[in-house]
Amino acid sequence: MYIDHKLGLGFGGIVGLVLLFAMLAWQNMQLLVGMERGHERLQQMREALLEARRHEKNVLLRAHEETWTLQTREWMTRLTHLVREEEGVSGLAEVEIWRDAGRLIQEYLDNFEEIIKNRELSRDQRIDAVERSLVPVARRLHELIGQRLQVRQHNQDAHLERTERFYAGFVVLAMLVSGLLVYFLTRSIVSSLQSGVRFAEEIAAGNLRATIASIPSDEIGVLLRAMQKMGNDLQHLEDVNVRSQTSRLALSALLESSLEPLSLQRQLEVALQIVLTVPFLHFQRKGAIFLSDESDGTLRMMASHGLSDEIHRSCKVVPPGRCLCGRAAAAGKLLYFASVDEHHETRYEGMTAHGHYCMPILSRGKVLAVMTLYLEAHHVRSPDEESFLSSVAYTLAGILERKRLEERMQHLAHHDLLTSLPNRVLFTEHLSHALAQATRGQESLALMLIDLDRFKQVNDTLGHAAGDQVLIATTQRIRECLRASDLVARLGGDEFAVILSDFADPGAAGLVADKIVQSVSQPIWVEGASVTVGASIGIAVFPAHGRGGDELMANADMAMYSVKQQGRNGYRYYEKGDRKRIDVS
């Protein structure tokens, strides 16, 4: 017990300094956490104010005024809660500032409600009222929040600077005291203490990953183990903080990307890139996202990174329950695979050893997609990794739901509800693009207008439900007569339009039209009855019959009317003698 008797007092002081250092470090970390929370609260105030202002503009500029009004109130209410929360934790010097902020918010709400309730104001008057009574208040609020953000940032930077100087001085002082005590009391433990000194110096310099190479089994070893544990704890706290900030940044990037006008596929590619570049995730830079088919649950690869051509071919479509991705979708939970095993059903020559995280993206218990990430073989799974991936899955679920809704709305805006064919709006856009391409390439293009014969009799005798079935069957027959590159659209009622592009012989359009006439005129069984309709088709060829979309449409319409006059159920190219359409029956 040599050290216990001779150096008890000296090393007791050292242990006290170490414990004091750890306590001060913990207290300082708690203070920094509080500062960070206050900073985040101010950021949330700014975001709430900006959102309220955005929705306030929507009240003036868009329809659904009640929805945007409600959103404005909700965001201002959220801002009020944040201000009251900040007031509750602020010191005496800042309480009055946040009370002023509360009064400004109330003034904003009162002015807003007054403008909304005054229904006699015109749109210009409401805009003028907003500029006069809301904009100055919002500007003062924005300036107040910005000033407090600057003050908070300045205080935080100053605190960090003071803390760094204090801890550096504290560690230096502790090292000097420890060195003197050790030097005068004994030289037999110099080597061990030098190891402790070097460790403490590295910690003071910011190297929290420092380790003590050799720790003796005597009382000095107890101290060194305590110091090592302190360093490990500090490193753990730093790692947790870095991972937390990195996770927040990655999720924020995901949400920000969802606000961009990206297609669903591009959105998934961006999401995959964000996940693969998170630094604390020890993944290979390889992965993919499979979108689940709503009808049968089949997984289709929509985004990938770093995958070979062989993987793209073999994993382009994954049936439900097959291989790792299919198993994750069936299980509805994150699955981890340490290496290639019997579950890895898709294999190919030259495949190297690896592991996987397979993460289903769920919404209301329904699988929307599956993200698969590649790991080094026998990678040790981490709760931090799995927690982050779960957060990514929740975030992507919301993004996918919104993107799918946007695509459905886009589809409904440009397609016929009954036949799913492009409607007149989308057809006009396609025609413009096709004409521009034909002009650049000096190619031929044919426009066909198709009007069904005797379709009105079907509606009058069998009803509109039977008429809908005839239209659906006719649509399918027309599609079967066309190439994949051709376009057919329903312009309304029983009228269809077809764009034929990239053909060498203008007579080819007539062959297609004849094929359509023959197919459409075949009997259709509807509700136990045989129904026969015909097709009158007018054809206009670019550039012989017109160079613009409107001109081609008009000439094809006149040609189709001529077919009607000459007995129907046939086709005709436009000729100058064709009369302008007056009536179609």
Residue-by-residue pLDDT tens, the chain, 585 positions: 445 555 566 667 667 767 776 787 777 677 777 777 777 877 887 787 787 777 777 766 654 467 767 877 788 888 788 878 877 777 777 777 888 778 888 887 887 778 777 777 777 777 787 778 777 877 888 888 888 778 777 877 787 788 878 777 777 787 787 777 666 666 556 666 666 666 666 766 666 566 766 666 665 666 666 666 666 665 666 556 667 777 788 778 878 877 777 777 888 888 888 888 887 777 888 889 988 887 778 888 888 888 888 888 888 888 888 888 888 888 888 888 888 877 777 777 767 888 888 888 888 888 888 888 888 888 888 888 888 888 888 888 888 777 777 777 776 777 888 888 898 888 999 999 999 988 888 888 999 999 999 888 888 888 888 888 989 999 999 999 998 888 999 988 889 999 998 777 778 888 999 999 999 999 988 877 888 899 999 999 988 888 888 999 999 999 999 998 888 889 999 988 766 554 444
Among candidate residues 212, 232, 208, the one with its CA nearest the CA of residue 220: 212
Token pair belonging to 121: 């104001």
CB 531 within 8 A of CB 462: yes
CB 182 within 8 A of CB 193: yes
- 3-class SS at 528? coil
- 3-class SS at 531? strand
State the pTM of this model.
0.44
Among candidate residues 29, 42, 26, the one with its CA nearest the CA of residue 159: 29
- CB atoms < 10 A from the CB of 356, how many? 24
- The Cα 404–Cα 189 span in angstroms is 70
575: left (phi over 0), alpha (psi -120 to 50) or beta: beta
Give the number of residues written for the chain.
585
Among candidate residues 142, 148, 138, the one with its CA nearest the CA of residue 39: 148
